[in-house]
Amino acid sequence: MKRTRNFALAATAMAVVMTTPVFAQEAAETNAGDIIVTARRMDERLQDVPISITVYNPEQLAARNIVNSTDLATYTPSLTVNGRYGPDKSSFAIRGFSQDLNTAPSVAVYFAEATAPRLSSNITSGNGAGVGQMMDLQNVQVLKGPQGTLFGRNTTGGAILLVPQKPTDRFEGNVEGTIGNYDQWRIQGVLNVPLGDSIRFRAAVDRNTRDGYIRNRSGVGPSTFNDIDYWAARASLVIDVTPDLENYAIFSWAKSDTNGYMGKYAYCNRGTVAGSDGNIGTALTSRAANCTELDRQTAARYGYYDVANNNRNSFVKNETWQAINTTTWRASDEITVKNIFSYGKAKESYSFNLSGDAFLLPALGDTTVPRSFVITNPGPDGGQGDQWTLSEELQLQGHTAGDKLVWQVGGYLEHSEPNKQQTQYTAILSNCVNQADVWAFNCSALGNISIAHNNYFYKNYGLYAQATYKLTEQFAITGGIRNTWDRVRVEADNIQVIRNATTGALTYRCARAAQPAGGATAAVLTNGACGIGRSFETRSSKPTWLINLDFKPDPDTLIYAKYARGYRGGSVNEANLQFEAWQPEYVDSYELGAKASFNSGDVRGNLNFAAFLNKFKDQQVSVFIPQCLPLTNANGVPNVGGRATCTAPAPTGINGIQNVGRSELKGVEVDGSLMIGDAWRFDLGYAYLDAKVIQGGGTVTNCNSAAFNCDQASGFAKGTILPFAPKNRVTLTATYSLSVPEEVGKVSFGATFTHTDKQFSNHGNDKAFAQGAIPYNASIAPATDLLNLNFNWNSIAGSGVDLAVFATNVTGQKYWVASSNGLASSGAEWLLLGAPRMYGMRVKINFGS
């Protein structure tokens, strides 16, 4: 009933918005077939830009069934996704530069040249890799390598530019409907209206739902996970104030409400993993129980996509809106002034099991209600993330006669602060499977409830200049420099609520500060006792730069050499005791490339090549450090594996960020297109990547042995392969267009094959695998060979109706994209599974001029 009502509302919205049609704008290609990109903040032909770029036009996005930003990684060599916390909270990695936990993104996402609103919580958030952004785009550009000179945020990995269709002077539109397996229903619509000679308006709406492919067999909570359920809308207005002054305003909004993700048991620690935190303390209890539950699911013949959930309130909710205003003034034939202002808000609230466990502890009276090692919940007074972001960028662009010198200078400002208190309640080894019970601390004696308030404040400023000078008609040199001032501050507290095993009384204590004798009272929740309200801050001010030499022997060939310095700012996380702050990371990037296009009658196309070497230092790495337990606990009961040296035991282990070692990331990228007559088109993308640590002791640098088992910490040793860096990746697309009369329409068949080598998602299970204690290393996502097919029939019988049939993962390959890294802490490991075979059909009705 809910779905019927939602689609009735969507259909009504379409009827209102669609009283006229969309415009098939002159998107990414000119009449001559040249692809136009904005990789250097101005319109340029792709083959003239000395940057490794992958570009998708609207037809390619539709044929590949790219629904959200993270789908791009399926088809783009060198681009991968960190999906450890599920698809709604994924983040990007390019050339091995990845984002982990709550570090700043290594790959920035820009929409209409404005940076995506920030979102900071205790686990990784996409910061722009959300839903609803793929509708009505002019093109998508994936820029590889440091982009810190011209773009707002400094990033070491690259940038993704989402370029929306801009309103034009034509009156037209379309409505598109999609149905597919897993009960998918999607409706989209676009409207383009000229409101006069100097005003143009455009609007788009997207409503998409699909059941999840992870089946829950427990009967508790949602029936499926990894589902889709979102609304998205966009409106844009262009006003030509004068012939030389244009104002372009965009408002976009997206809201997603899904069941979240759920991990699947891979294996457990059966007491054979040496040096594991799963062999001591409370984790010993969960380790044994997880093994029992894994054996139960195996005996019950759970299928590959079957799980057992115990969280009655599982959900992931996200909402983002952003207003962007771009004013462009052509001050003269040689000088253009451009101002880009953006203000947006992003918030999220989630309740899910961080791993996928659901086990019974009969010794504590568990007979029917299972518990989990960690379930995270929003607080009763707010969710885990709620942030506003304001950015302002002023550009001055110019050129001399004949484009002998092309230059630009600018300044960038970004502020971001919380809208309200950001709160997370985390139930550890608890039988609180209802959110209301967590808030009331109505849980069993084992484990605790952790209450975290985290408020993040960002201030970023930048000044930059870049120019290209033609030495001759064939040679040109480009130089750019930027200085960035970054400041990140967190105001936070972290409180533990513990129930006494004998009396049932609650004890409140500050989880990240020294405890008073006998613990504390409930007053710590309100009066600031025990050091609550801690604040941490990092500041940095660093220059980045590039120098580039181009050689164009003819208009269709470009050879370039580039050197760039990249930088990603440090950050803070109060929850990581003694590791609360980390410093910036740096990369020196060297690249050689060549681009060539050709046209010899019936055979035409292009071929691009790039070879790169990135020298990475002070990289921000996730490090796990187990807690150090004393010989006995507070009740005098011996701790298994306890140590006499644990004089100031930490309340939990730490999964935090440190600046560790040096790495080298080197490889080659090849992409190209070949068109033979009007019938065949072939698109190729290939990337080879060798990304590993070249200097690192495999140990952490700042560790208190009285609080942690420092010798069991998992650091990046020399030779370690970086996460999300597959060695080989190849994508091949073949499209065949039938030769049929024009009155029949345009009919084509397409197939895309993508091979990805195995890749690390983390290194948490490496030691156990080396010991032979586990059957395989779930930290290594397996190699995949995915085949996608599509059939398109446009302008059916000369009408404005288009039909498309699509299928992804046609062979039904079973694979996983990440693991939970839980073996050392909770005693078991879980997999985040990739999507199975998906198929469906789209019908699009175009109307208007």
The distance from CA 752 to its chain's CA centroid, rounded to whole angstroms, is 23
| Region at 269 (left for phi over 0; alpha for psi -120 to 50; beta for the rest) | beta
State the residue for tokens 């568990």.
Answer: 366
Structure tokens at 479: 């130089």
- What is the pLDDT at residue 686? 95
Other beta carbons within 10 angstroms of residue 510's beta carbon come to 22
Q: How far apart are CA 71 and CA 79, in angstroms?
A: 10
Give the C-alpha distances (Å, rounded to integers) separating 391 from 110, 142, 344, 424: 12, 22, 9, 28
- What is the pLDDT at residue 699? 62
Backbone angles phi, psi at 231, to 5 degrees: -115, 145
- What is the pLDDT at residue 381? 80
Q: How far apart are CA 715 and CA 699, in angstroms?
A: 5
Q: How far apart are CA 675 and CA 19, in angstroms?
A: 38
Give the chain's length.
Answer: 849
> Please, which residues bridge with residue 680 across strands?
676, 736
State the residue for tokens 């080659």.
Answer: 668
- The DSSP H or E segment spanning 299 is helix 281-299
Q: How far apart are CA 229 and CA 684, in angstroms?
A: 33
- What is the pLDDT at residue 375? 87
- What is the pLDDT at residue 244? 96
Residue 257 contacts residue 231 (beta carbons within 8 Å): no
Q: What's the whole-model pTM score?
A: 0.89
Other beta carbons within 10 angstroms of residue 69's beta carbon come to 24
> Please, which residues bridge with residue 803 across strands?
793, 843
- What is the pLDDT at residue 702? 67
SS3 798: helix
Structure tokens at 225: 């996970």
- What is the pLDDT at residue 697? 56
Other beta carbons within 10 angstroms of residue 647's beta carbon come to 12
State the residue for tokens 């109706």.
Answer: 801
CA-based nearest residue to 622, from 85, 80, 34: 85
Structure tokens at 352: 């899910």
SS3 685: strand
- What is the pLDDT at residue 461? 94
- What is the pLDDT at residue 101? 67
- What is the pLDDT at residue 369? 78
CA-based nearest residue to 200, from 165, 241, 238, 234: 238
SS3 66: coil
Q: How far apart are CA 597 and CA 671, in angstroms?
A: 12
Q: How far apart are CA 194 and CA 650, in angstroms?
A: 64
Q: How far apart are CA 810 and CA 838, in angstroms?
A: 8
CA-based nearest residue to 672, from 594, 589, 602: 594
Other beta carbons within 10 angstroms of residue 516's beta carbon come to 13
CA-based nearest residue to 544, from 5, 94, 156: 156
Structure tokens at 638: 């011996």
| Ordered mean pLDDT values, 10 residues apiece, the chain (849 residues) | 46 38 34 72 85 88 79 83 70 80 80 88 65 88 85 82 94 96 96 95 97 93 94 97 97 94 91 61 73 94 94 90 97 95 93 85 77 86 89 95 92 93 83 80 74 88 95 94 92 78 73 45 47 76 92 94 90 74 88 93 92 89 74 66 75 70 91 93 95 75 75 74 92 94 93 94 84 90 95 94 95 92 84 94 93
SS3 548: strand
> Looking at residue 102, what DSSP letter applies?
T
Count Cβ atoms within 10 A of the Cβ of residue 662 and give its class: 0-12 exposed, 13-18 middle, 19 or more buried: middle
Instruction: Give the pairing type, strands 746-756 and 728-737.
Output: antiparallel
